[in-house]
Chain A
């Protein structure tokens, strides 16, 4: 099999997104959730760059990726700040303790 750069990048995208989703599926710790989201977003960013390169519009892909970086930083900051507050209020980082829906 010919290991060209797009194939390697695509494998990395699938790997990152897969790891991130797996992490989200199994964890209930808020900090880990934020980390998992970061991993997924990094994979998505790579995918954007790859798509830009393959369509010959690298600048577009890069600018999209930059936009994602900004959004993703905000997610991380807010998520971690929430985690700090949740820990102070509830004394636990378990997401299931947060849920107030009737089960």
Chain B
């Protein structure tokens, strides 16, 4: 039974993708229907996998060749991420029914979305690292296609290309790891490797560990690869929700969490992971503070929250990081879809033109504020519990300066979140915007996410049980709900964090009074608007590559004789190499 469920949760979205595409764009109504049907069906199958979690649940395709066996294992980590991908993904698809109404080329849109969801499920469920690489690259391809969905907009196209190129670096790191693993063990199986990481010599293990760190950083938009995620904002809003909450960026954190037991002993690896997470969290929070584009603020906040997750893995809190991943998926999908509803209603993304929208969009305001409270880490909302768990992990046995910086970032998070909420929904109307009402399908997608943002922390007990039982190598200690509540409420760290969050809030409230201090920080604002020079580095690299390519043009003469000369010279070189070798 479980075997079929594994295959169905990957196969159903892919089948749906094929059907939607074959249906053609003239039957838009059916396309919406089929996409929703298959997305929801895959979410149901993924949820049905939950009771079947266990390392013994394996689907295996023996390949009889060097590729080893294509295995799919339903362990806690994989099934949990598959559920996130399909459930949040299906809500994004439901939201799309309203958002993409009347849009051209719906077939391409839905086919890519469903293909994306299926690939993400495959990525987290497979235990063959080569297959994992294949799924990894499929998600990169889908994200590229969806970010540049409006392919007559040059900004969207360049954003998509940027995402594709930067995440390719990650793909290289992963492929390197896969090949090294195969070269030394003759097998691509992850679980065999995790059970006994010492099959690799320690220096090779180190190369692999840092290769995977690069892979994860590129995929999850962490320092120094964080620039692609904000540019991916040119995509339609449901796609942003999908990439930020359900699929793409979770893959990097998943990779780190999955291989944590193998790499934790590598000297310098854990501190590097923590520093990468810390830098991403800090820089993105500062950039979110000065951004004026609503979706960009949310994009930077994603980078920042992913920084928390990466930091947590480095600090040894695999459960805390995955718990925050769950909370983040819920509230970030909520925020993005709500932002999508706002943008769809008013027709602009610039927060400076919004303001006072709360009266006109009361439902969106409620759900957006719920998401924002969760993001800021206000008690009772799910973001509070998971962030406190991360900070607590960071406090014990890890460098205290990193902990302090993460604490400050928590305050910054509260500050930029409330700035964003205030600019959009409160205050005075800054311009005459014609507001369309929000459709019924948007509300259907938003309501469960809003409920989830308040309640998912109640699942901490079963969730930790799930991870602890099916991941023997991760040594996750089980944490019941009461224990978690006692742990969070009973430690002074929580109150320090809350104080910092309140401080962040107060900073926004008293912004008029402290404007003198803010003026002195102008240089920081200028730097943050220019994304601390990383955009300049990107542009430099692009210009350099173009210059080299321009220089190499001379070698392409188009003359047959020259080309034959090249071929013959190459042949002679190969023959000479063979002769010397023999």
Residues of A within 8 A of B (CB): 21, 24-28, 33, 95-96, 99-103
Whether A101 contacts B564 by the Cβ 8 Å rule is no
B552 within 8 A of A: no
Whether B557 contacts A28 by the Cβ 8 Å rule is no
CB-CB under 8 A from B557, the residues of chain A are 99, 101, 103
8 Å CB contact of B559 from A26, A33, A99: A99
**Chain B residues numbered 201-224 whose CB sits less than 8 Å from any CB in chain A:** none
Rank and list the top 7 A-B pairs by shortest CB-CB distance, nearest first. Answer: A101-B558, A99-B558, A24-B564, A95-B560, A25-B564, A21-B568, A25-B561
CB-CB under 8 A from B553, the residues of chain A are 102
- Nearest to A36 among chain B residues (CB) is B564
Whether A21 contacts B564 by the Cβ 8 Å rule is yes
CB-CB under 8 A from A26, the residues of chain B are 561
A87 to chain B, nearest CB (A): 17
CB-CB under 8 A from A99, the residues of chain B are 557-559
CB-CB under 8 A from B559, the residues of chain A are 95-96, 99
CB-CB under 8 A from A24, the residues of chain B are 560-561, 564
Expressed in whole angstroms, the Cα–Cα distance for A100 and B557 within the complex equals 10
CB-CB under 8 A from B556, the residues of chain A are 101
The interface size bin for chain B is 10 to 19
Q: With A21-B568, A25-B565, A25-B568 as known contacts, state yes or no: A103 contacts B558, CB within 8 Å.
A: yes
Beyond the given A33-B560, A99-B557, please list 9 additional residue pairs across the A-B interface where CB-CB is below 8 A: A21-B564, A21-B567, A21-B568, A24-B560, A27-B561, A28-B560, A95-B560, A101-B557, A101-B558
Whether A100 contacts B558 by the Cβ 8 Å rule is yes
Expressed in whole angstroms, the Cα–Cα distance for A101 and B560 within the complex equals 12
Expressed in whole angstroms, the Cα–Cα distance for A99 and B562 within the complex equals 13
8 Å CB contact of B561 from A28, A100, A102: A28
**Chain B residues numbered 532-573 whose CB sits less than 8 Å from any CB in chain A:** 553, 556-561, 564-565, 567-568
Sample (25) of A-B pairs whose CB atoms are under 8 Å apart: A21-B564, A21-B567, A21-B568, A24-B560, A24-B561, A25-B564, A25-B565, A25-B568, A26-B561, A27-B561, A28-B560, A28-B561, A33-B560, A95-B559, A95-B560, A96-B559, A99-B557, A99-B558, A99-B559, A100-B558, A101-B556, A101-B558, A102-B553, A103-B557, A103-B558
- Nearest to A20 among chain B residues (CB) is B564
Expressed in whole angstroms, the Cα–Cα distance for A54 and B567 within the complex equals 27
Expressed in whole angstroms, the Cα–Cα distance for A99 and B553 within the complex equals 15
Expressed in whole angstroms, the Cα–Cα distance for A57 and B565 within the complex equals 34
CB-CB under 8 A from A96, the residues of chain B are 559
CB-CB under 8 A from A95, the residues of chain B are 559-560
- Nearest to B562 among chain A residues (CB) is A25
- Nearest to B564 among chain A residues (CB) is A24
**Chain B residues numbered 247-285 whose CB sits less than 8 Å from any CB in chain A:** none
CB-CB under 8 A from A27, the residues of chain B are 561
B468 to chain A, nearest CB (A): 57
Expressed in whole angstroms, the Cα–Cα distance for A101 and B567 within the complex equals 20
- Nearest to B560 among chain A residues (CB) is A95
Expressed in whole angstroms, the Cα–Cα distance for A65 and B558 within the complex equals 31
The CB with the most chain A CB atoms within 10 A, among B556, B557, B560, is that of B560
CB-CB under 8 A from B568, the residues of chain A are 21, 25
- Nearest to B563 among chain A residues (CB) is A24
CB-CB under 8 A from A28, the residues of chain B are 560-561
CB-CB under 8 A from A33, the residues of chain B are 560
Expressed in whole angstroms, the Cα–Cα distance for A24 and B564 within the complex equals 7
A56 to chain B, nearest CB (A): 22
CB-CB under 8 A from A21, the residues of chain B are 564, 567-568
CB-CB under 8 A from B560, the residues of chain A are 24, 28, 33, 95
A77 to chain B, nearest CB (A): 19
Expressed in whole angstroms, the Cα–Cα distance for A95 and B565 within the complex equals 15
Expressed in whole angstroms, the Cα–Cα distance for A27 and B559 within the complex equals 11
- Nearest to A21 among chain B residues (CB) is B568
B503 to chain A, nearest CB (A): 63
B53 to chain A, nearest CB (A): 51
The CB with the most chain A CB atoms within 10 A, among B553, B557, B558, B567, is that of B558
CB-CB under 8 A from B558, the residues of chain A are 99-101, 103
